[in-house]
Amino acid sequence: MVFIRYVKVAVIIFTVLLVGCDNKSSKTVLRVGHTLDTKHSVHKALEFMSERLAHYSHGEMSLKLYPNGTLGSERELVELLQIGSLAMTKVSAATLESFVDDMRLFGLPYVFSSREHRWNILESDIGEDILHSLQPAKLYGLGYFDAGSRSFYSCDKMIRSPEDVKGLKIRVMNSQNAVKMIDAFGGAATPISWGELYAALQQGVVDGAENNPPSFYSARHYEVCKNFSLNEHTSIPDVMVISQHIFSHLSDQEQHWLKLAMTDAVQKQKTLWLEAENYALAEMKKSGLNVHYPDKKPFMDAVAHLHDAYKDSIVGQYLMRIKAKQ
C-alpha cells in the first residue's frame, strides 16, 4: 500500500509539472483542477469563466480544466497551489478549515438566515475579509460559488424537529462543527466517506445523513431514504482559489481580467445552481420522496450555544458582524 501511495504521488508530481501557467507561448493558460464531474454547475461555470477570460483578454488568457479529481483530492489540490504547481482550484470552505481558522465560520449551523442574506454577506466586506485570510496560507481567494444549504434526510422517520434526531446515527463530514451539531440534536454523528454512504444507508449502518438536494439526488440516495427535511442547518460555500505565487506573477492587467471573469462566473453559477436545486427537488418528489419544510427555530435554538463557544475568536467577530447586517 505504501508503494502504491508513493507511485500515486510520483504521478501527481509528474503531472503538475505540466500545470500552472503555460510559459511556452505568449498566451497565459491557467490550469484548474477540481473534484466535480463535468455536469456540475461549478464545472459549467468554470467553462464559462474561461470563455469570459478569453473575451476580456482578447485571447491572451484562458483556463485549462481538469475535473473529476484527476489531479487529486481537494486537500491535495490546495497543497499543489501552495507550492505553485497548480494555478487554481475549487474547494469547499469545509476543506479550507484545516488551512485557515477563519473558514470555520461556515461549518457553524444557522450563520445565515436565508440565501439572500448569505450572498449579501459573501459579497460584502465580510466575505472579502474571509477571502483575504487565505493569503498567509499562500492562497488567494477569488470568490465564492453556491453550494446551497445542507438538510437532513432519513430512511425511516421524517425529521420534523430536533427531537426526531435523538438516537439516530447521522452521517456527517469529517468536521468538528458537524459532529458537535449532531450531538446538540441528540444524535450520533458518524463520519463516513461520501463514496461509501449509499451502502451505509442501505445496510443500516447509519439512519440518515445531511446534504443539499442536488447532491442527494445525484447520489441516488432517494432510492434508500424516502424522507427529506429542508431544515437548512448549514450553508457551506465553495471557494475559488488561486496560488498566491502564480497570482503575484500575473501582471496587474491579467489580474484584472481574471477578477472580471470570476465575477461573471459567480453570477452564472448562481443561476445554474438554482436550476439544479429546483430540478433535484422536483425529480425527488416524482420518485415518491416525502419532502418536509419544518419550523427552523427549534433547530436554531438547539445549536445556539455552538456560536457562543466562538465568542472570543476571529469566528466570533465574524458572527457579530454578520448578525449586525441581518
Which tens digits make up the pLDDT trace of 58-78?
Answer: 999 999 999 999 999 999 999
Q: What are phi and psi of 281, to 5 degrees?
A: -65, -40
Q: Per residue in 265-288, pLDDT tens?
A: 999 999 999 999 999 999 999 999
pLDDT bin (cut points 50, 70, 90) of residue 25 is low
Query: At 176, is the pLDDT very low, low, confident or very high (cuts 50, 70, 90)?
Result: confident
The answer to whether residue 150 scores a pLDDT higher than 50 is: yes
d(C-alpha 197, C-alpha 209), whole Å: 9
The predicted model scores a pTM of: 0.89
List pLDDT tens digits, range 30-62: 999 999 999 999 999 999 999 999 999 999 999
CATH of the structural domain 2-99+134-146+236-278, one choice from 3.40.190.170, 3.30.360.10, 3.40.50.150, 2.40.50.100: 3.40.190.170
Mean pLDDT of all residues in 121-135: 98
Query: For residue range 87-108, what is the model confidence (pLDDT) as tens digits?
Result: 999 999 999 999 999 999 999 9
In the chain, pLDDT over 70 holds for what percent of residues? 92
Q: How far apart are CA 214 and CA 218, in angstroms?
A: 6
Round to whole Å and give the CA distance between 32 and 35: 10
CATH superfamily ID and name for 150-234+282-324: Bacterial extracellular solute-binding protein, family 7 (3.40.190.170)
- Written in H, E and C, the secondary structure of the chain is CHHHHHHHHHHHHHHHCCCCECCCCCCEEEEEECCCCCCCHHHHHHHHHHHHHHHHCCCCEEEEEECCCCCCCHHHHHHHHHCCCCCEEEEEHHHHCCCCHHHHHHHCCCCCCCHHHHHHHHCCHHHHHHHHCCHHHCEEEEEEECCCCEEEEECCCCCCCHHHHCCCEEEECCCHHHHHHHHHHCCEEEECCHHHHHHHHHCCCCCEEEECHHHHHHCCHHHCCCEEEEEEEECCCEEEEEEHHHHHCCCHHHHHHHHHHHHHHHHHHHHHHHHHHHHHHHHHHHCCCEEECCCCHHHHHHCHHHHHCCCCCHHHHHHHHHHHCC
For the chain, give every residue range classified as CATH 3.40.190.170. Answer: 2-99+134-146+236-278, 150-234+282-324
User: Using CA atoms, how far apart are residues 322 and 316, in angstroms rounded to an integer?
Assistant: 10
Please state which of the ranges 1-10, 60-69, 279-288, 290-299 shows the lowest mean pLDDT: 1-10
pLDDT at 142: 98
Contact 144, 122 (CB under 8 A): yes
pLDDT of 21 higher than 90: no
